[in-house]
Structure 1
């Protein structure tokens, strides 16, 4: 085992610790204020609804290129739903940016 292997293992351990800290510490802080935890749950629920809308709209076509990469109808629909969700959220963000800038100009 050379230095590169040891460094990679060390970096994997540090990434794992950072991941656990990024998940556990906000949960500990959220338990102090349950309203913030409820608002987070509402945000996650809204994202799930938007994904469900995108998933329902997306098609499940499988072309020859897709079969080359072992993509079946379910995966095609999942990717399509994710892309539609991204398009919807990008549109909402752009409308929010434009609204914010216009409201700053009006004030």
Structure 2
């Protein structure tokens, strides 16, 4: 059992190191080209704005079976989950439309 614990902690460490490297390295590379950092910032701001629109549209209704244990879902939590789901759906649709548009554009050329 101790071997599993050690390997799990090693996995957690590798995930944390990977996440830090994935965040820090693009920032270091963007110091050479600040315009790329501006594009990244605009993308992040766009996703945040999209999330707040989706959050304001989503419902905060909680069914009684989700209010009790083990879920203990609050209306705020329900609205947060709804906002995340709507944001995910919108981003997936935008991605699929972009893929279809790109493929059609390449087929026409």
Common topology (TM > 0.5): yes
SS in 2 for 1:100: helix
Q: Which residue of 2 aligns with 1:48?
A: 48
Structure 1 residue ranges without an equivalent (≥5): none
Q: Please give the residue correspondences for 1:91-106 in structure 2 after superposition, counting only pairs within 5 Å.
A: 91-106=93-108
TM-score with structure 1 setting the length: 0.86
Q: How many residues align?
A: 107
Structure 1 residues 44 and 106, CA, compared in 2 at 3 Å: closer, same or farther?
Answer: same
Q: Give 1:78's aligned residue.
A: 80
Tell me the CA shift for residue 56 of structure 1: 1.0
TM-score by length of 2: 0.84
RMSD: 1.8
Q: Which is helix-richer, 1 or 2? A: 1
Q: 1:18 maps to what in 2?
A: 18
Q: Name whichever of 66-75 and 85-94 sits farther off.
A: 85-94
**What is the Cα deviation at residue 57 of structure 1?**
0.7
Q: Give the gaps of 5 or more residues in structure 2.
A: none
Q: Larger deviation: 29-38 or 15-24?
A: 15-24
